[in-house]
Chain A
C-alpha cells in the first residue's frame, strides 16, 4: 500500500513539473523576440546590417567643407581630392552622378532619391543588378559570422574602391615546400 502511495506522489509531482515547465517555457523564449526587434530596426535604418562605410580619415561629413562652398556642377578637373582617380566608367560619369550636389552627406540614385552611405549598395545595384542579387543571398562577397545564424555582410565599398572598383593585384603567400626538400 505504501508503495502505491509513493508511486502516486511521484506521478503527480512529475505531471506538475511538466505542466510547470510548459507554462514557464513560453516566457523564457528570449531569443525569438530579440530577433524580431533586430529585423525591425534593420528596416528602419538600413535594409541589411553592415559595418560603417570605409571613409578616408577626417573626410566625413562632407558638408563640413562643402557646406560653405559655392555649388559648381560643371564637369571639370578638381583642385581637391587628388587621391581619387576615377576609373569607373569615367568617360560617362563624374562625382555628382553618385554624390548629391545639394545634400553633400548623401548619395543619390538615378531618379534623384537620396541614399545614405550605409546603403550605398542600392546605388551600386542600379548598374550591377545581378551582383546585388547575389550579394543579398550571400553569394557575392565575403561572409563571416555564422552559417546558420547571424551573417556579417560588408558593403561593396569595403572591398571595391568605388572610384576604381577592379581588384588590385596582390602578393601571394609563399609556395609550398616541394616534397624533395622535405626532411
Chain B
C-alpha cells in the first residue's frame, strides 16, 4: 500500500506533463462542457443537473420545488404551488366505473384536462371514451373514439372510458430504461418528467393506450392553467416527455376525490381505498359483478368496471 501511494504522484505527474491524445481529448471535452453549461441560464443548468426524484434529499427537493414554482408562476402569471406530498400510510387506491351508467358525455375527459394541465394544442386527453355496440359487447377493434352525436347515449351503443388502469403489475414501469416511471406505495404509477428521456418504450408496453407523448411544446391558456400541482402529477410538462393519469395525485393525497369522479353527471365513477373494508370501492368489489380490461395479460389493473344494474 505504502509503495503504491508513493508511486502514484510520480505517475500522475508524468501523465500530466505529457500531451497525449487521450489527455488532449479529455481537456477538450471538459472545456466544451464548461462552455455549454456556462452558456445555459442558471435555471436550465439546475434542471440539467437535477437528480432523480427518488434520490433527491429533502433539501434538494425543496430547492427543486421552489425553482419550479417560480418558473411556472412566471410563465403563467399566477401563483403556483408544486407539492411532493408522499403517499398516505395504509392506502392503496382503486377505481371503479359503472358501465351501465356511463352515457358517453365526455365531461370527465375535459374535466381531467383542466385539472391536470393537459396540453390543449397539440391536444392530449388522458381519458378516452370508447363507444361500442351493445350487440358486440366489449370489442376494442370496432370501438369508436371519435363519435360525434348531437345527443348521447346513442341508440344501441354503450360507452367505455379508458385511462391509466394503475396496474399492480405495470408493464410500462418494467420497460423504462431510465426508471423515470415507477409505482408509488399507494399504488399510483407516476412519471418524473425531468428524468423521462422520451423513448416511448412505456407507451409501446402499455396495453391500454393510456400513456401520451408531448410531440410538441405543450400549450395551456394562462387563464385555464391549474396552479395547484404535484411534482409527480399535474405540473406543467415539457416537449418530449410521456404523461398519464395519476388518479389526480394532487387531489387524492389531500383526501379529495379525483376530478373525473366529481364531474361525472351520472355518478358512474367511484374511487376509494382498497385497504379500507368500509370504502365504496370495497363494497363494489364484494357485491357487484366487476371486470378488468385484458385480464389475460396479468397486468392486474386497479381500475375495475362494473354493472350496478
Contact = CB atoms under 8 A, between A and B. Distances in A.
Interface in A138-183: 138-149, 159, 167, 169-178, 182-183
A4 interface: no
B272 A172 contact: no
Q: How large is the interface on A (under 10, 10 to 19, 20 to 34, 35 or more residues)?
A: 20 to 34
A137 interface: yes
Interface string A101-121: 000000000000000000000
A183 B216 contact: yes
A134 interface: yes
A143 B267 contact: yes
B122 A148 contact: no
Contacts of B88: 148
B132 to A, nearest CB: 15
A146 B255 contact: yes
Which secondary structure characterizes the binding site on chain A? loop
B146 A171 contact: no
Interface in B278-296: 279-280, 283-284, 288
Nearest to B105: A172
A176 B145 CA distance: 8
B273 interface: yes
Given A134-B308, A137-B283, A138-B280, A173 B265 contact: no
Interface in A59-117: none
Contacts of A142: 262, 264-267
Contacts, number: 101
Contacts of A146: 255-257
A183 B267 contact: no
Contacts of A177: 122-123
Interface of B: 88, 91, 103-107, 109-110, 121-123, 125, 128, 145-153, 215-216, 252, 255-257, 261-262, 264-267, 270-273, 276, 279-280, 283-284, 288, 308
Given A142-B262, A178-B146, 17 more contacts: A137-B280, A138-B283, A144-B262, A145-B256, A147-B252, A147-B256, A147-B273, A148-B91, A149-B255, A170-B151, A170-B152, A170-B265, A172-B147, A172-B152, A173-B107, A176-B145, A183-B122
Report, nearest first, the 6 A-B pairs whose CB atoms are least far apart.
Answer: A142-B267, A173-B106, A169-B151, A138-B280, A175-B146, A141-B267
